[in-house]
Amino acid sequence: MSYFYQMPYPYRNNNEMHHFRVDFSGLIGTFFTIPKAITLPTGVALPANTRVFIHSVTFLPTGEQSVTIVFPMQKGGACIAGSTTLNESQLSGSPVQTFRPY
């Protein structure tokens, strides 16, 4: 005896469904390598593959994480540490995956 399973609606396979969220709250106190270049609100550009330190994480009402990072930068010929707060989508380089009913 065989059973037939029928999907009640077609499966939509689009690229946006394959992004994974990074749980930055589990990375506090560690380094994270950013996958894509980021331009900060101050105009400072962090190139792809820059290692940043995850300082703290808070959760926004939308469920997205707000991540405070510490990063290296040059000022006056010296290497100094800068810090800023970014949304997780800016830091991970991919949009946040949320559930959308069909």
Euclidean distance between CA atoms 66 and 60, whole angstroms: 7
Where are the chain's structural domains?
Answer: 20-92
Euclidean distance between CA atoms 42 and 98, whole angstroms: 29
pLDDT in tens, 28-80: 999 999 989 999 888 889 999 999 999 999 998 888 899 999 999 888 899 99
pLDDT value of residue 17:
44
Q: 63 versus 17: which is more confidently predicted?
A: 63
Provide the b/e sequence for 23-36 (b: ≥16 CB within 10 Å). ebeeeeeeebebee
Report yes or no on whether pTM surpasses 0.75.
Answer: no
Contacts of 98 (CB under 8 A, 6+ apart): 63
